[in-house]
Amino acid sequence: MLKGKQSWVFANKPVILSSAAVGGPFEANGLLSDDFDLLHKDLWFEQDSYEKAHKLLLEEACNKAVEKANVEATNVQFLLAGDLINQMTPSNFAAETLGIPYLGVFGACSTSMEGLALASFIVNYGGAQYCLTGASSHNAAVEKQFRYPTEYGGQKPPTAQWTVTGAGVGLISNVGVGPHVTSATIGKVINMGLKDPFNMGGAMAPAAVDTMKAHFNDLSRDPSYYDLIVTGDLGEIGRQVSLDMLVEQGFAIQDQQYKDCGLLIYKKDQPVLAGGSGAGCSATVLYGHLLNEMRKGKLKRILVVATGALLSPLSFQQKESIPCIAHAVSIEMGGDS
């Protein structure tokens, strides 16, 4: 059901039947290593290119999620997934291997919640019984495309973020027990004219605020409804900017209630500068850590707001500013509304 201008409320409350997270060596040394289903020892994964390793991330996460749900992959109607590489090549090739009808989804680092919102919509209205959805990124592959190959050794400013090597996937269904997707708010493209690709958090913060405001207004809901509000990968800079903006605009969000996946995933002594980023950032934190916390009863209601910077190497080279977007999904244990 459409609620307000840009939100959906899912009356049938699709369940996240299972989830899985796969990561790389840097994530293995991070704060949330225990919440990953599989961690690789190096960035190559025994492949001959970083892009092939990236492809393997999504394949492994999908296979693990299906396995944990005790569902045959042939019974999954649709796969909704995406990544940051040109034309989502790793996701496309993974979909070929998996053999599941595929809808490629691109929202940069907001892809995880774009996919979850769409998969939940499909399941809620009877379009499928099982949908796999997720997102992935690979540090070396993404850095090579958007900045410099890591071997170049380019120096980065303190506002830059570390691209997560990881894939997070959820199996969404109309049957079963688990956390329920109760609503979603689809964001608008917001462009504040920023052009610095090394300050993604600052660029994306206004989009996160715009979507959160729409969510609260559309659903006539106070931020206190949620145990936790978590943004995708604003990092240290963007999280503080967005929190300040929300408070200035009259939304009483407590500092301890508002977290960011890019700050949750790594330890303080890891050299990630302003925090983690990448399409796999919010995906691994949600489909690993946060859902585990919900299943343990530590969280009942969360709002996940994944943010994306919709630039490309081409737009950057043509000196365009950075359009940004954020999508929000409400997840509740037990499906209470």
The reported pTM is: 0.95
Q: What is the mean pLDDT of residues 14-28?
A: 98
Instruction: Give the model's pLDDT for residue 150.
Output: 63
Please give the mean pLDDT across all residues of the chain: 94
pLDDT tens-digit map of 275-295: 999 999 999 999 999 999 999
- Give alpha helix (H) positions in 219-301: 235-248, 261-264, 279-284, 291-295
pLDDT tens-digit map of 205-254: 999 999 999 999 999 999 999 999 999 999 999 999 999 999 999 898 88
Instruction: Find tokens 């949330």 and name the residue.
Output: 32
Q: What is the mean pLDDT of residues 316-337?
A: 86
Closest CA to 155 of 312, 273, 269: 273
Domains of the chain: residue spans and CATH: 2-173 (3.40.47.40), 179-333 (3.40.47.40)
- DSSP annotation of 106 reads -
Which residues on adjacent β-strands are paired with residue 259?
A: 230
pLDDT tens-digit map of 3-12: 999 999 999 9
Contact 87, 175 (CB under 8 A): no
Instruction: Find tokens 């997720």 and name the residue.
Output: 134
